[in-house]
A and B are shown apart, each in its own frame.
Chain A
Amino acid sequence: MSVPIRKPSPQTVQEPVHTEDEQIIAWIKDPGTVDRGFRALLAKYQERLYWHVRRLVIEHEDTNDVVQECLVKVYRKIGSFRKDSGLYTWLYRIATNEALSFLRKQKRKATRSIDDEELLLAEKLKADAYFDGDAAQLHLQRAVAQLPDKQRAVFNLRYFEEMSYQDMSEVLSTSTGALKASYHHAVKKIEKSMVAIEPN
């Protein structure tokens, strides 16, 4: 069996050489090079968007659907992209919206209580062939799962992706002050949950 790929940590990642965003946009805006531009965009961003969506949606199959939908939407809407926002934050904005919209639809369909949802998530993680985290990581994901969806997005973007509050503000259309408050609140809740499990 082949070894699954794990997301490299921001601290250890060796970024491959990627095309500059300006070049990608220029290629995409030119009908003659649109394919080249979109391929460059995928090469640079598809993995990052996948991991971002995966942390929100949790299951690989669901994530795959959401990310494909998101990238097709990016291709269709790239003509309306305006340079006054960064390509990176624009892509994260679309991906976040797609993921949150998916979760909202999933909740509408579900007949289970919120507590059941959280238990189910923990079971899903344990059973997921593509979740190979240890007990501490499982506990962290369970604690994160108890946050409201938008706060989860805030926590994940800051904790795992080290995104600045300014960029998060563009992604989530929320003021930096509100984001800081949301992140601090999320961190305190998760810390409390960790202390309850491991008092020492």
Chain B
Amino acid sequence: MDSEKDTQKELEELAPNLARLRKQQPEDGFSVHPSYFRELEQSVLNEVHRQPATKRRFDWSGILSWLLVGPRPVIALTTLALALAALWYLSAPAPESNLFAGSSEVAAEELRAYVHENLDDFSPGFILEVAEQDMAFETDLSLDDLSEEEIDILLDEYLEELDQETLEDIL
């Protein structure tokens, strides 16, 4: 942070009237009610305790142990077979259909989750380009300068920011 002297001197050189106003009235005129910040803190703490701090990864080890050593292995294996059959059926491409043809009816969260889960199908460079166009800032980032982990973190952050319209554009 620069000193008050630095910023005031800079302002006096650039804009004497504005500098005078700042000296006389450094406040911005905005205010809040007296207990607001206590309420804000409480409200934020309630919200973060309501949500898990980090996204939970799907626990495959729990499923596997249930399948292998659970009390009802036959039911478990049947369930698995049915799940695989359903997966195969759902993943078969439907003729003359576009998976996201009706994506305007799909919630942004679902789109985000889809892109997130299928990140490998999208070029990171493309997602970053779209995100930069959509977001407030341009960055000078080059993917060549980033590690895979950093690219993943960046993509996660960008996907969180994108709105439904942009997600649909990506798809």
What is the interface residue range for chain B against chain A? 35 or more
B-side contacts of A105, CB under 8 Å: 163
Pairwise interchain contact B48-A72, C-beta atoms closer than 8 A: yes
Question: Is the beta-carbon distance between A184 and B14 smaller than 8 angstroms?
Answer: yes
Contact B29 A187 (CB under 8 A): no
CB contacts (< 8 Å) of A114 on chain B: these are none
Residue on B with the closest CB to A100?
A: B136
Complex formed: what's the CA distance from A108 to B48 in Å?
Answer: 29
- The size of the chain A interface, using a CB distance under 8 A, is 74
Partner-contacting stretch, out of A4-12, A16-24, A115-123: A4-12
Given contacts A47-B37, A80-B157, 16 further A-B contacts (CB under 8 A): A4-B34, A5-B32, A5-B34, A7-B27, A7-B30, A35-B45, A39-B41, A71-B44, A100-B137, A130-B32, A137-B27, A150-B136, A160-B26, A160-B28, A162-B2, A165-B2
Q: List residues of B whose CB falls within 8 A of some A CB.
A: 1-4, 6-7, 11, 14-18, 21-22, 25-34, 36-37, 40-41, 43-45, 47-48, 51, 53-54, 135-140, 153, 157, 160-161, 163
- List 28 contacting pairs A-B, 8 Å CB cutoff, sorted by A: A4-B32, A4-B33, A5-B32, A6-B27, A6-B31, A7-B30, A9-B26, A11-B4, A11-B26, A12-B26, A42-B41, A54-B30, A60-B30, A68-B44, A73-B160, A75-B53, A76-B48, A80-B157, A130-B31, A133-B30, A158-B7, A161-B1, A162-B3, A163-B2, A164-B1, A172-B137, A191-B14, A194-B18
